[in-house]
């Protein structure tokens, strides 16, 4: 949910201005053919979810197309990126709000989940890049975020901008990855932060690799490529919602955090580590947050706060297990203090640890678990010998 609300301005009508008379439309001659033909649509198709809530719980949601129903898309292959899964959701877990309809807020969040597409397959467009390069860049962005006391939402917005921008490009060189990353963080800070750092400070942290002019020009390219779609629901926004719903009471203000800061920063550290791995883009942001939340709670609680089923969360939960095991072998995450940051906002500030080393250990655990599952000893305690007809004949 963004901090900024849109404004609607109405223009006053001048009473001295004469009203225009409405003329009836002229009838078209049947013999005269139409000169204008319907051109194929150049805009992308937009979709929204139409709610079908029922009193007894879950019901299917209808995906309706708006507003170009009569036009066909010019590129049919673009629809292969849309994965409409798990459209059977329960009623909004958000409690009754005094300032908005909780079901409307929930549906808008789900709508964003479908609108903002991310996919790890963008690496196929960039043969010169490797997944490790993305991990190194994100690790550096998290470090910069802690230095300037930026919020977690800012860092995750920058990650989303970077991944979605790379999905629109081809054959990007590794030499400009730092420029794209710092520009994404610059845009995100202007979206989320009340007092964002100056552009000179973002250029300074690159140690001369990127100038102010480079960041400004790259900002225009990213904004144009993203079509100014800059407000996704990140894993952090989903996690904050889940954490708040778990402890929320009817008489409390929903906008004031009531959850434990210590538990929250432990879950966010797990999310930070998982987002460093490009395979995290295989899952939606809401599922990533739910799986991380599930590692610190029971699934019954996760189902209550998210409405997701175990079939939706379990693949991501199992994929996340080696990352959780890696963090459990390390010292527990501690709440850090930052100058000019209030005590009730410290958990929202992005922190940085040795994520690259933790990522290497987690990926090694993944390989070990995969080898164990592929081993015949792991799948059966007794190895059945081959039949006599299948044994090789001795020469």
Residue (of 163, 130, 139, 129) closest to 357 by Cα position = 139
Query: CA 194 from chain center: how many Å?
Result: 22
pTM for this model (two decimals): 0.73
**pLDDT classification of 252: cutoffs 50, 70, 90:** low
Distance between first and last Cα of the chain: 74
* Percent residues over pLDDT 90 in the chain: 55
**pLDDT classification of 45: cutoffs 50, 70, 90:** very low
Q: What is the Cα–Cα distance from 327 to 325, expressed in whole angstroms? A: 6
pLDDT digits (tens, 9 = 90+) for 314-324: 999 999 999 99
pLDDT digits (tens, 9 = 90+) for 192-202: 999 999 999 99
Lowest mean pLDDT across 56-70, 116-130, 286-300: 56-70
Q: What is the mean pLDDT of residues 346-357?
A: 95
pLDDT for 182 beyond 70: yes
The chain-wide mean pLDDT, for the chain, equals 79
Quickly list H helices, the chain.
102-115, 131-147, 152-166, 177-192, 199-204, 212-225, 235-247, 261-275, 285-294, 299-306, 310-328, 355-374, 376-379
**pLDDT classification of 32: cutoffs 50, 70, 90:** very low
Which domains are assigned to the chain?
A: 129-232 (1.10.472.10), 235-338+345-371 (1.10.472.10)
Cα-based torsion angle of the residue sequence 161, 162, 164, 168 in order, rounded to the nearest 10 degrees: 120
pLDDT digits (tens, 9 = 90+) for 107-147: 998 999 889 989 999 999 999 999 999 999 999 999 999 99
């Amino acid at each position: 949910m963004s901090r900024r609300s849109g404004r609607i301005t109405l223009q006053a009508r001048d009473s001295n201005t004469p009203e225009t008379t409405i003329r009836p439309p002229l009838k078209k001659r049947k013999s005269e053919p139409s000169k204008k033909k319907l051109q194929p649509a150049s805009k992308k198709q937009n979709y929204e979810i139409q709610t079908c809530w029922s009193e007894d719980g879950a019901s299917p949601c209808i995906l309706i197309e708006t507003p170009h129903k009569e036009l066909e898309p010019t590129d049919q292959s673009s629809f292969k990126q849309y994965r409409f899964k798990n459209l059977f959701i329960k009623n909004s877990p958000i409690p009754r709000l005094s300032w908005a309809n909780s079901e409307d807020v929930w549906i808008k969040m789900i709508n964003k989940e479908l609108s903002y597409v991310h996919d790890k397959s963008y690496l196929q467009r960039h043969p010169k890049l490797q997944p490790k390069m993305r991990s190194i860049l994100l690790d550096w962005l998290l470090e910069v975020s802690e230095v300037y006391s930026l919020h977690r939402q800012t860092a995750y917005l920058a990650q989303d901008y970077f991944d979605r921008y790379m999905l629109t490009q081809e054959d990007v060189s590794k030499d400009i990855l730092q420029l794209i990353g710092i520009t994404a963080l610059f845009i995100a800070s202007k979206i989320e932060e009340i007092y964002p750092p100056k552009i000179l400070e973002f250029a300074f942290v690159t140690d001369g690799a990127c100038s102010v002019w480079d960041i400004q020009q790259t900002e225009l390219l990213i904004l144009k490529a993203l079509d100014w779609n800059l407000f996704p629901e990140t894993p952090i926004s989903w996690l904050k919602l889940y954490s708040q719903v778990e402890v929320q009471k009817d008489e409390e203000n929903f906008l004031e955090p009531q959850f434990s800061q210590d538990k929250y920063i432990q879950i966010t550290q797990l999310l930070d580590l998982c987002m460093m791995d490009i395979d995290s883009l295989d899952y939606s942001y809401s599922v990533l947050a739910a799986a991380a939340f599930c590692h610190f709670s029971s699934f019954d609680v996760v189902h209550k706060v998210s409405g997701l089923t175990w079939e939706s969360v379990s693949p991501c939960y199992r994929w996340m297990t080696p990352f959780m095991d890696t963090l459990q072998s390390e010292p527990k995450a501690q709440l850090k203090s930052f100058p000019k940051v209030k005590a009730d906002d410290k958990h929202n500030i992005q922190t940085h640890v040795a994520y690259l080393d933790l990522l290497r250990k987690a990926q090694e655990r993944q390989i070990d678990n995969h080898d164990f599952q592929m081993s015949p000893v792991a799948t059966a305690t007794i190895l059945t010998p081959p039949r006599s007809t299948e044994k090789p004949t001795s020469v």
